[in-house]
Amino acid sequence: MADAMIEFRDVTKRYGALVANDRLSLSIRRGELMTLLGPSGCGKTTALRCLTGYVQPDEGRIFLDGKDVTDVPTHQRELGMVFQNFALFPHMTVRDNVTFPLMIRNLPKPERERLVLDALRLVRLEGYAGHYPRQLSGGQQQRVGLARALVYHPKVLLLDEPLSNLDAKLREEMRFEIKEVVTRLGITAMYVTHDQGEALALSDRVAIMNRGRLQQLGTPEEIYESPNSRFVAEFIGLSNFLDGSVDTVRGETMTVATSGLAIETRALPGAAAGQKVLLFFRPNEIELLPADGESGSNTFPAKVEKTTYLGDTMDYRLVIGDGADLRLQTDARHRYAVGEAVRVRLPRVRSWVVEER
């Protein structure tokens, strides 16, 4: 890709029989923040290590700013890194911790001081230069880690689960801070996480990995609204799946037989009667109606199995047709009780996924 800052070209890394990265190809544009997202063990850290040079791929090439760096040693790759165990030096002040990367680069003292102050300002810690790590909160320590990674103005910033040691509230704050800093500096960043909320909130684009492979690459909206597989749909957000088979196809719509119901959806290209399909609905796309309310197309009787109060919304588990489960959320103003008969309206224009197996 012409404007790629980071490029993985068919990168494979094996550990014995295990393929940690399987022909991984990925381009990250200049100034883009891309998240690698996937379950534990899917190969995210391995990909990052291949990029840093800590790990040598068995096959494939890696490019940084158009240059093949596959055989270039780590310290010549000019990368800023923040890792899960961000390990500040405990016996050094914040100032010395942040100065460290500049010391090993032999920069003159006035230059060093200026860069350190800039970096501390960036993370709003200029008043803490003389503090020791033990005198800082977890979030402040994390920001020092970020300042240390940014102090020498790397072209690329790599972050591997940088927030996993923080509590939920701090994680969310730091999320926005990282995004803000990265955007302000126009830096290219690769961010590794297995937290889908973090990925959706932070990323320009998300790369979903599964078993060493790239499963889907897209903006947060694309990934959430049009997952290309059951794996992605399940990994991001809550989903309802209904297995069925195509009954009739009429122009743009088709009817799918599932759980004793006939559900209308957008027709798959080339769909034919008898074809197995997997219908997929997000919990917020299903309308919940009273049992005696209006009927109409794609509206089916259902029974409330379980309710959970979530403040703004109610979470319902329902049973429809001959026993299929459905989960949905509605605003909490109108409530239904466990055991109550209701109706649900399913969306007709829907992304769907064909069963992969």
Ligand X SMILES: Nc1ncnc2c1ncn2[C@@H]1O[C@H](COP(=O)(O)OP(=O)(O)OP(=O)(O)O)[C@@H](O)[C@H]1O
Residue 99 interacts with Mg ion (CB under 5 A): yes or no? no
Residue 46 interacts with Mg ion (CB under 5 A): yes or no? no
Instruction: Give Cα separations from 6 to 22, 24, 250, 286 (angstroms).
Output: 18, 13, 46, 40
Exactly one of 27, 45, 255, 329 binds Mg ion (CB under 5 A); which one?
Answer: 45
Q: Which does 291 bind (CB under 5 to 8 A by kind): ligand X, Mg ion, none?
A: none
CA 162 to chain centre: 14
Q: Which does 66 bind (CB under 5 to 8 A by kind): ligand X, Mg ion, none?
A: none
Interface residues with ligand X (CB under 6 A) are 15, 18, 20, 38, 40-46, 194
* Shortest distance (Å) from residue 248 CB to ligand X: 43
21 vs 45 by CB, closer to Mg ion:
45
Contact between 178 and 193 (Cβ < 8 Å): no
Contact between 345 and 298 (Cβ < 8 Å): yes
Contact between 4 and 31 (Cβ < 8 Å): no
Phi-psi region of 251 (alpha: psi -120 to 50; beta: other; left: phi over 0): left
Contact between 27 and 1 (Cβ < 8 Å): yes
Contact between 1 and 38 (Cβ < 8 Å): no
* Shortest distance (Å) from residue 100 CB to ligand X: 25
Segment interacting with Mg ion, rule: CB under 5 A, options 42-50, 86-94, 96-104, 221-229: 42-50
* Shortest distance (Å) from residue 221 CB to ligand X: 24
Residues contacting Mg ion: total by CB under 5 A = 1
Residue 93 interacts with Mg ion (CB under 5 A): yes or no? no
Cβ partners under 8 Å of residue 87, min gap 6:
none
* Shortest distance (Å) from residue 206 CB to ligand X: 14
11 vs 302 by CB, closer to ligand X:
11
55 vs 262 by CB, closer to ligand X:
55
* Shortest distance (Å) from residue 64 CB to Mg ion: 21
Which residue's beta carbon is nearest to the bound Mg ion?
45
Q: Is the dihedral of CA 160, 163, 168, 174 positive or negative?
A: negative
Q: Is the dihedral of CA 40, 37, 278, 261 positive or negative?
A: positive
Q: Which does 119 bind (CB under 5 to 8 A by kind): Mg ion, ligand X, none?
A: none
- Using alpha carbons, select from 197, 121, 198 the residue that is nearest to residue 159: 198
25 vs 137 by CB, closer to ligand X:
25
DSSP state of 135: G
* Shortest distance (Å) from residue 84 CB to Mg ion: 8
Give the interface with Mg ion as residue ranges (CB under 5 A). Answer: 45
